[in-house]
Amino acid sequence: MAIIKLILTIAITFLFLFQTGLSVVDNFDQSQSISDGTTLISKEGSFELGFFSPGNSTNRYVGIWYKNIPVKTVVWVANRCSPINDSSGLLTINSTGNLVLLYQNKSVVWSTNSSEQAMKPIVQLLDSGNLVLRDEEDGNSETYLWQSFDYPSDTMMPGMKLGWDLRTGLKRRVSAWRNWDDPCPGDFTAGVEYDPLRHTFPDVYILQGTSKYFRTGPWNGIHFTGTPEQRPNPLYSYDFVYNDDEVYYIYNLENESVITRLVMNQTTSQRDRLTWNDEDKAWKFYSTSPRDNCD
């Protein structure tokens, strides 16, 4: 009898942990949700998604940050310009299969807009830091109905495409936070420019508002002509892809255990590459653009 009671207690405890989201999970489906205080953690524990308040603000945002470093560093924000002013936020999948962020369980403050509807929609946080919406019924787990990597905030992560999908018209750009307290886009954006009609060489630029602040010079197939000092480096490899379908810049790590990111900075109007230094427990500058163009 005592044994049965014990087993029952353990079972109920597990059920409780699961229900309140305290267990480590990297995904949720239509029957579940993420409320303020609960999080998703990617499978290998690299990234975490949840609610946070930036700087001195008390506003609540849904974001993704590194799970494996002690300095909270947010790499993506969902409701960048639509903060929630209490702890009632709820991230859930609606009946037509879109990821929606609800305020007081009624008004939609942010949502994805996938036009395709999944049979069995599931939201998953990947170890790359990409938040994806996919169909669990779809045999190919790499077909995404929506992904956060298509809608960058101020940070370009390894494996993310900065550029333009010519088929869908989607432009992926990074834009600086307005300030430490507000992740809504500020003045500075970095992206790729290309004229598909004139077939000009693509160009990586930084915009201030709508005017060009800095450009790398066109890509000639090997490097950006304006930045001949661009050098091979041991940290990452990069590629510039342009064809009839897509034009984008991408970088991938040479060593997967190195943590690095490119971030557009409103204060300095620069695009900085930072790497995590585990000995000092701090981010270190690796390179800066426009000052020293490494990428």
Ligand X SMILES: *[C@@H]1O[C@H](CO)[C@@H](O)[C@H](O)[C@H]1NC(C)=O
Positions that interact with ligand X (CB under 6 A): 55-56, 85, 90, 94-96, 98, 100, 105, 108, 111-113, 151, 180-181, 255, 257-258, 263, 265, 267-268
Measured from the CB of residue 241, what is the shortest distance to ligand X in angstroms?
22
Measured from the CB of residue 85, what is the shortest distance to ligand X in angstroms?
4
Residue with tokens 């508002």: 209
**Closest CA relative to residue 103, chosen from 75, 132, 131, 62:** 62
If the CB atoms of residues 75 and 224 are measured against ligand X, the closer one turns out to be 75
242/219 Cα distance (integer angstroms): 10
Q: Which residue is nearest to ligand X (CB)?
A: 111
If the CB atoms of residues 112 and 216 are measured against ligand X, the closer one turns out to be 112
185/170 Cα distance (integer angstroms): 18
Measured from the CB of residue 155, what is the shortest distance to ligand X in angstroms?
9
Which two structure tokens, joined as six digits, stand for 279? 């000995």
295/288 Cα distance (integer angstroms): 9
Please say whether the beta carbons of 191 and 271 come within 8 A: no
Alpha-carbon distance values, 30 to 35, 71, 91, 121, 196 (Å): 14, 32, 11, 7, 40
If the CB atoms of residues 240 and 286 are measured against ligand X, the closer one turns out to be 286
Measured from the CB of residue 43, what is the shortest distance to ligand X in angstroms?
20
Q: How many C-beta atoms surround the C-beta of residue 276 within 10 A?
A: 18
Please say whether the beta carbons of 188 and 173 come within 8 A: no
If the CB atoms of residues 173 and 223 are measured against ligand X, the closer one turns out to be 173
If the CB atoms of residues 138 and 165 are measured against ligand X, the closer one turns out to be 165
Measured from the CB of residue 249, what is the shortest distance to ligand X in angstroms?
20
